[in-house]
Structure 1
Amino acid sequence: MISVPIKDIARPRTELVSADPTASLREICQLMDDRRVGCVVIESDERPAGIITDRDIAMEFSGGATLDDLTADDIMHRDPYTISSDDGVFDLCATMAEHGVRRMPVVEGDELAGIVTFDDLVVLLDDELSNLSEVVRTESPPYEEP
């Protein structure tokens, strides 16, 4: 089975939204809002140290904390699941399903190289299905109304 390498579909490092573990949650929220993303990868020495999602923030505040009370280090998921840029999309999907995650930082060696999200995969799948449906339309007789 042929598998597209992650590096061909991942959002590159330049598009990745990341922050330092010492960033306040106010800063994290502002990054998410400014860049219109649902997660921020927390990095240390150019390596993924954690990840924070918009859901993580919402759940944290159900306990009464404020944006200025906490830092990224306080609520991040440490040592996030990652995928190598050379792995294939099938590996990515299997890993996401196994761990129940929607976002995976992409690494080259140990260094952060980008990110792939569930939404990226849905868009990719939609594009591919659209291409396939055009083949079917081209090769099929036209539908006629009765």
Structure 2
Amino acid sequence: MTQYVRDIMTGHPVTVEPLTSVRAVARLMRDQDLGAVLVTEGDRLRGLVSDRDLVVRALAEDGDPDDTTVAGACSEDLVTVGPDDTLDDAVRLMREHSVRRLPVVEDGRHPVGIVSLGDMAMERDERSALADISAARPNQ
């Protein structure tokens, strides 16, 4: 049976505007237990920022987290999938582009979710180490 991205994606993704401070995004990620948020302008997807992006592209550059905006820390050259794409297509894209998360968009630009490598692992092999780690409660 064919499985689709919509079946396992995290819907209603958390989004921020490009001028949101790195500190505000980091707190949002902490408070909502997120590894990534989407950066949008209006209803258009502009980028994705992960917790690693905040560290490597913002904090490691000695920027003030209150003055540095997420626009400079997010990945902008995104690979996306649609909710009606198959999981096989999503896996192929993750492999080809070496990414761990894919924004899910409708009409080529409107974000409706995120699908992650952890989501795939839990769906494909719930007994795998990655599935266990992805399903575990976060460190406090």
TM-score when scaled to structure 1? 0.80
What is the correspondence of 1:1-146 to structure 2 with a 5 Å cutoff?
A: 2-13=1-12, 16-60=13-57, 61-109=59-107, 110-127=109-126
How far is the alpha carbon of 1:128 from its aligned partner?
Answer: 8.3
How far is the alpha carbon of 1:81 from its aligned partner?
Answer: 1.2
SS at match of 1:48: strand
How far is the alpha carbon of 1:20 from its aligned partner?
Answer: 0.7
User: 1:83–1:92: 8 Å Cα contact kept in structure 2?
Assistant: yes
Distance 1:48 1:79 in 2: 11
How far is the alpha carbon of 1:123 from its aligned partner?
Answer: 1.3
* Count of matched residue positions in the alignment of Structure 1 and Structure 2: 126
How far is the alpha carbon of 1:10 from its aligned partner?
Answer: 0.9
TM-score when scaled to structure 2? 0.83
Q: 1 or 2, which has the higher helix percentage? A: 1
Distance 1:46 1:128 in 2: 37
How far is the alpha carbon of 1:80 from its aligned partner?
Answer: 1.6
How far is the alpha carbon of 1:126 from its aligned partner?
Answer: 2.9
Aligned partner letter, 1:51? L
Q: Considering only CA atoms, is the larger Rg found in Structure 1 or Structure 2? A: 1
The RMSD of aligned alpha carbons is 1.6
Give the % identical residues. Answer: 31
Which 5+ residue runs of structure 1 have no aligned equivalent?
Answer: 130-146
Per-residue Cα deviation, 1:48-104 (whole angstroms, up to 9, x for no partner)? 110111111111222211211310112211142110111000000000111111011
Aligned partner letter, 2:112? A
